[in-house]
C-alpha cells in the first residue's frame, strides 16, 4: 500500500486518537501531521514485523506521549458534577463532553480508550501499548467504570 492510500485510510483515525489524548484540535492536527511525516520517512524500512495499522498507531501514540517534552498541560474542561444535565444534548456537545471525560483519565488510559473507540481489537491495543492482553482487558474494564461514573454525574445513564 502506498503512502497516499495509507494517509487516506488512517489519517482520520489517527486524528481522533490524537484528539482523545490531547483534547486540543490544533495540537491534534499537528500530531497527526507529525505521525504521517514519520510514516513517510520510515515506510521504506518498515519490515512487516507487525501489522501496518499497529505500526502507524504506535507512531501516533508515541508522538502523543512525546508531547510531554513540550510540557503543555492537557486541556481539561471543568465538568458540572453537581448539576446533572437533563436536556437533550447535540452530538457535538456530547463529543466535547466525551473528550473532557477522557482528558481526565491517566495518559495510558486515554490511549487505550481512544484505540478501543476506534474499534481496534484488544490484541492490537496490547501490541501498541506494550501490555499483555489480560492487562489491557482489566484496564478497559476500569476505564469504562471511570467513564460511567462521570456520565452518571452528568445525568447520562
Binding stretches for other proteins (CB under 8 A): 3-4, 7-8, 11-12, 15-16, 19-20, 29, 32-33, 36-38, 40-42, 46-47, 49-50, 55, 58-59, 61-62, 65-66, 68-69, 71, 91-92, 94-95, 98, 106-109, 111, 116-119, 127-131, 144, 147-148, 151, 156-157
Residue 94 CB, shortest distance to other proteins, in Å, is 5
Residue 82 CB, shortest distance to other proteins, in Å, is 20
- Is residue 114 a contact partner of residue 17, using CB atoms and an 8 Å limit? yes
Residue 49 CB, shortest distance to other proteins, in Å, is 7
Q: How far apart are CA 81 and CA 61, in angstroms?
A: 30
Q: How far apart are CA 49 and CA 34, in angstroms?
A: 22
Residue 12 CB, shortest distance to other proteins, in Å, is 4
* Number of neighbours of residue 38 by Cβ within 10 angstroms: 15
Residue 68 CB, shortest distance to other proteins, in Å, is 4
Q: How far apart are CA 125 and CA 127, in angstroms?
A: 5
Of 77, 153, 142, 60, nearest in space to 106 by CA? 142
| Cα 14 versus chain centre, distance | 8
Terminal CA-CA length for the chain: 42
Q: Between residues 83 and 135, which has the closer beta carbon with respect to other proteins?
A: 135
Amino acid at each position: 500500500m502506498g503512502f497516499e492510500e495509507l494517509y487516506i485510510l488512517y489519517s482520520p483515525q489517527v486524528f481522533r486518537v490524537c484528539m482523545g489524548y490531547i483534547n486540543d484540535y490544533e495540537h491534534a492536527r499537528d500530531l497527526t501531521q507529525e505521525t504521517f511525516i514519520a510514516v513517510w520517512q520510515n515506510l521504506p524500512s518498515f519490515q512487516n514485523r507487525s501489522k501496518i495499522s499497529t505500526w502507524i498507531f504506535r507512531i501516533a501514540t508515541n508522538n502523543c506521549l512525546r508531547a510531554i517534552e513540550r510540557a503543555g498541560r492537557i486541556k481539561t474542561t471543568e465538568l458540572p458534577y453537581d448539576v446533572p444535565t437533563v436536556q437533550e444534548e447535540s452530538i457535538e456537545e456530547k463529543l466535547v463532553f466525551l473528550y473532557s471525560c477522557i482528558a481526565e483519565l491517566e495518559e495510558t488510559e486515554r490511549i487505550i480508550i481512544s484505540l478501543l473507540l476506534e474499534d481496534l481489537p484488544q490484541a492490537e491495543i496490547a501490541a501498541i501499548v506494550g501490555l499483555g492482553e489480560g492487562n489491557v482487558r482489566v484496564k478497559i474494564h476500569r476505564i469504562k467504570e471511570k467513564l460511567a461514573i462521570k456520565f452518571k454525574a452528568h445525568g447520562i445513564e
